[in-house]
């Protein structure tokens, strides 16, 4: 399904105690499949309770670059996503992006 240039990265963020995500999963996770040749998000999934939420988040991230932190993307999330897990989504994005850069750096050093 995914080519050999892709890697799987997971970021997480804490949701409020009254959030359905907290009840179901304890924490918000977003998993990205990223093409390391282009740094582009080719697929993702998250621990949202509603399917429409998953689709909306997917639409925001698909095709985005992960090679550096994207302040525009954070602003888009703040301007468009008004679910109670907004802060957790931004935190999970930052966490995943940081992990991606660490993995990519380590991968380069091994070559």
Q: How far is CA 100 from CA 19, 38, 48, 82, in A?
A: 27, 13, 22, 26
C-alpha 67/C-alpha 16 separation (Å) is: 30
Residue 44 lies in a domain: yes
The pLDDT tens digits for 38-58 are 999 999 999 887 899 999 999
Tell me if 111 is assigned to some domain: no
pLDDT computed for residue 22 by the predictor: 52
User: What CA–CA distances, in Å, run from 83 to 23, 31, 55, 88?
Assistant: 15, 18, 13, 10
Residue 20 has pLDDT above 60, yes or no: no
User: What is the token pair recorded at 33?
Assistant: 């499949």
Residues of the domain holding 94: 6-106
The predicted pLDDT at position 45 comes to 94
| Band of residue 16 on the pLDDT scale cut at 50, 70, 90 | low
Report the alpha-carbon angle 11-42-94, nearest 5.
Answer: 25
In a domain, 1, yes or no: no
Decide which of 24 and 105 is more confident.
105
Select from 26, 8, 29 the least CA-distant residue to 88.
Answer: 29
Number of domains into which the chain is organized: 1
**CATH value at residue 36:** 3.30.390
Q: What is the pLDDT of residues 56-101, one digit of tens each?
A: 999 999 999 999 889 999 999 999 999 888 899 999 999 999 999 9
Residue whose entry in the numeric block shows the structure tokens 């940081």 = 98
């Amino acid at each position: 399904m995914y080519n050999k240039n892709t890697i799987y990265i997971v970021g997480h963020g804490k949701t409020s105690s009254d959030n359905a995500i907290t009840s179901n999963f304890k924490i918000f996770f977003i998993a990205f499949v990223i093409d390391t040749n282009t740094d582009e998000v080719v697929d993702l999934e998250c621990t949202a309770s509603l399917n429409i939420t998953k689709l909306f988040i997917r639409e925001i991230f698909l095709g985005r670059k992960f090679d550096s932190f994207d302040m525009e993307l954070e602003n888009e999330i703040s301007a468009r996503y008004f679910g109670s897990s907004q802060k957790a989504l931004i935190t999970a994005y930052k966490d995943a992006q940081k992990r991606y850069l660490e993995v990519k750096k380590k991968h380069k050093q091994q070559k």
